[in-house]
Amino acid sequence: MISLNSISKHTYKAKRNLFLLFFIFIICIALLIVKICSIVNADSVNYKKNVLSQQVNNSIRYNNLLEPKRGTIYDRNGRIFAESKKVYDLIFDPGVLSKCKEKDIDKTVDFLVNTYEFEESTLRDLLKNRNFSNYEVLATKLNYNDIEKDFQDISNRKYKGLNLVESYKRIYPNNNMLSDVLGFVNNNKQGCWGVEESFEGYLRGEEGREFGVINDGKYIQNMYIEPKNGNDIILTIDQTIQYYLEEAIKANLEVCKPKNIYAIATNPQNGEVLAMASYPDYNLNDPYDLTAYFTEEEIKNMPLEKKSNFLNGLWRNFNISDTYEPGSTFKPFVAAAAIEEKKVGLSETFHCSGSKTLYNRHIACWKGGGHGDLTIVGALENSCNVAFMDIGAKIGKEIFCDYQKLFGFDSKTNIDLIGEGNSTLHKQEEIGPVELATSSFGQTFNITPIQLISAFGSLINGGYLYEPHVMKKIVNEDGNIVEVNKNKEVRQVISAKTAQYIKEALHSVVVNGTAKPVSIEGYDIGGKTGTAEKFPRSENKKMVSFMGFAPVDDPKLLLLVIIDEPDVPKPSSSYAQNIFKSVMEKALPYMNIYPRIGTEQKDNTNSSPNETEVNNNQDVE
């Protein structure tokens, strides 16, 4: 007979074993879960990589640069000189298309053949022989109008292996206008010459990027970094004045048949360049085109070096890069130095007999019979070489060299354009009586046109030398100002009284002297003629010029015109004066500077300008 105690013991033992088995089972389950979690956590990254790698092996990696929009260049009034317009490149991707189904291949090929008239054999050849490539350019610089009806289909990848890539084309709406100042953008999207190169860092913007993996027209992984567009440049140039200047040059080409013509217009009160032009110029939209200067046969047979030299000469901005002898346009600077340093009395006279002999060197005045007795104003009116040789001797080489430096002729102007040239001046210790004499009427040394017009501004604005500039301000694509070019005063060169005297003396040159042809009824104009012989002197080649300004009371427009080797029997500054007058007649009313009504033009025939006022203070002591 089994006792109750024995049954109780067996029941307890069975329960204990069952509980132990259950506990072991739970432990096993827990360990399994831990192991699974460990596998998932430890290997998930590698697993994902393996999966993606398997996908990528059957897909195409891409890495595209996204071109930013280059900044626009405006004139001072917001008129466009240069802009970038969106265009599209049609890209064929044989690497993707060759892995597609045959029906998809046929669909893309048929579309290209029937819509854009590509050769089917060419496309099939790309698929066969360039199936490692993902970027074959079929067409470039397509306007939206050219592809409008297919734009969405191509963009949405209706046709596999076909893509549109946005790009920008640089457009110059005015073709040749301001070519020397603007420069151009080359095939590598880099600025060359002029503003395009000088302000490349502001204009170009920053590239964006699109990269990732694409499979069967679907993105597996895609990243997009948006490009940053370039800043806009607002110039000091006035497009209307630029137009007047270029038209005046063109109108006079047949008259003087020059080798070159150069011209600069500035505001003498602050150094802003209002216009700058030259002949010959070039089409900014096709800067490599030579058909305007050579026949097709000549271009075809032209050696590469000759072609390159001609193009570089065409693109080069003589107004800032090259030097020349200024001739008589330099005489006002000598007069200013003599008056400022009180080396010459305002009523003092100088005698011109037609020539002067120094150390066996016979130096002639332009008027063979001589000018007789002249005051300093008369010397400017008649542009007398002999009188200025005497004035130069009065001031001496030390003062002469000092004032060349003060007026900025010994250094670059720092105009904000690349390629500014260096002047060539006599060293003080090398100047003898002959060098001083010839230098006093503007020969035997070389300066740049931009140096001359910048310094000339100080003669008529109260005596202040300003740094010339073409950039007025820079703004970003949102219209916020990035940089402003503040007018930079370099120094005061001469006193206000001396400047006033010189300004009115130059007015007298127009009223009574060699510049009478530039007179415009109702306007007070000042200026100085210039003629300089070129080297070698034996060839008798000349550069003729005119520097003038208006109105005399408060000059707002200063214009320098230089004509290089006019092909005429008797070259004179009258050819430069014609261009000057043509521009002034249109530009002054445009600038709201109107002629006097019912008043006579000031006549300085019988007296030097402000002689009584100035003479008391600045006569030689």
Report pLDDT for 621: 22
* Whether residue 194 has pLDDT greater than 50: yes
DSSP 181-223: HH-EE-TTS-EESHHHHHTHHHHS-B-EEEEEEEETTEEEEEE
| Phi and psi at residue 31, to the nearest 5° | -65, -40
Assess contact for 335 and 609: CB atoms under 8 A: no
Cis amide linkage into residue 280, ω under 30° from 0: yes
Distance CA 551, CA 520 (A): 11
Report pLDDT for 568: 94
Report pLDDT for 309: 95
More confident residue, 334 or 64: 334
pLDDT band at 615 (very low <50, low <70, confident <90, very high): very low
More confident residue, 450 or 608: 450
| Phi and psi at residue 121, to the nearest 5° | -65, -35
**pLDDT tens, 25-67?**
777 777 777 766 665 555 554 544 444 444 444 455 666 778 8
Report pLDDT for 214: 57
CA proximity to 171, closest of 227, 229, 87, 91: 87
Assess contact for 410 and 404: CB atoms under 8 A: yes
CA distances from 612 to 71, 376, 513, 531, 600 (A): 56, 14, 21, 32, 22
* Whether residue 260 has pLDDT greater than 50: yes
132-136, 551-555, 560-564, 601-605: least confident range: 601-605
DSSP H helical segments within 322-413, as ranges? 331-340, 376-382, 385-406
Cα 328 versus chain centre, distance? 30
Report pLDDT for 524: 97
- Give the rounded percent of residues in the chain with a pLDDT score beyond 90: 67
Average pLDDT over residues 371-396: 97
- Give the rounded percent of residues in the chain with a pLDDT score beyond 70: 86
**pLDDT tens, 273-293?**
999 999 999 999 999 999 999
**pLDDT tens, 448-497?**
999 999 999 999 999 999 999 999 999 999 999 999 999 999 999 999 99
**pLDDT tens, 341-363?**
999 999 999 999 999 999 889 99
**pLDDT tens, 158-188?**
888 888 888 899 999 999 999 999 999 998 9
Mean pLDDT of the chain: 88
Number of Cβ atoms within 10 Å of the Cβ of 426: 18
The two tokens of residue 381 are 């009116």
**pLDDT tens, 408-449?**
999 999 999 999 999 999 999 999 999 999 999 999 999 999
Query: Any idea what DSSP says for residue 446?
Result: B
pLDDT band at 500 (very low <50, low <70, confident <90, very high): very high
* Whether residue 148 has pLDDT greater than 50: yes
For tokens 């393996």, the residue is: 50
pLDDT band at 614 (very low <50, low <70, confident <90, very high): very low
Assess contact for 170 and 67: CB atoms under 8 A: no
* CB-based burial, 299-326: b 16+ in 10 Å, e otherwise: eeeeeeeeeeeeeeebbbbbbbbbbbbb
Tell me: domain 85-169, CATH 3.90.1310.10, correct?
yes
* Whether residue 616 has pLDDT greater than 50: no
Cα 254 versus chain centre, distance? 29
Report pLDDT for 608: 41
* Whether residue 16 has pLDDT greater than 90: no
| Phi and psi at residue 355, to the nearest 5° | -170, 170
- Indicate the length of the chain as a whole number: 621
Per the CATH hierarchy, to which homologous superfamily does domain 272-315+325-618 belong?
DD-peptidase/beta-lactamase superfamily (3.40.710.10)
Distance CA 601, CA 522 (A): 7
Report pLDDT for 158: 85
85-89, 140-144, 197-201, 287-291: least confident range: 140-144
Give 393-404 as a 3 state SS string.
HHHHHHHHHHHH
Helix (H) or strand (E) holding 125: helix 120-129
Domain residue extents for the chain: 85-169, 272-315+325-618
Distance CA 137, CA 165 (A): 10
Distance CA 529, CA 557 (A): 17
